[in-house]
């Protein structure tokens, strides 16, 4: 899934929790280079799947944690 920015360019979906409010799009993508543990991406590869079905990407700065049969981003 992609998000359309104001210049009509496609930006991959990134969600950053670096700041007090969640940031998405290009700003979140820029956080990924320096603060990868605070940025979640590839969400569509994760949502709706059990932890056993998810192909963990070693490039992810975040981790997936299972608690009470629910997968969380950490």
Q: What is the pLDDT of residues 47-66, one digit of tens each?
A: 888 888 888 888 888 888 88
CA–CA distances in Å: residue 56 to residues 43, 60, 70, 71 = 12, 8, 16, 13
pLDDT value at 5 more than 70: no
Residue 1 pLDDT level (bands cut at 50, 70, 90): very low
Q: Would the pLDDT of 3 be above 60?
A: no
Q: What is the pLDDT of residues 9-46, one digit of tens each?
A: 666 688 899 999 988 888 888 898 899 899 988 888 88
DSSP output for 41-71:
E-GGGTTT--TTT----TT-SS-EEEETTEE
């Amino acid at each position: 899934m992609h998000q359309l920015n104001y210049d009509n360019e496609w930006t991959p979906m990134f969600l950053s929790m670096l700041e007090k409010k969640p940031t998405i799009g290009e700003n979140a993508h820029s956080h990924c280079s320096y603060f990868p543990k605070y940025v979640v991406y590839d969400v569509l590869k994760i949502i709706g799947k059990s932890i056993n079905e998810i192909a963990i990407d070693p490039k992810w700065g975040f981790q997936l944690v299972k608690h009470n049969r629910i997968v969380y981003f950490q």
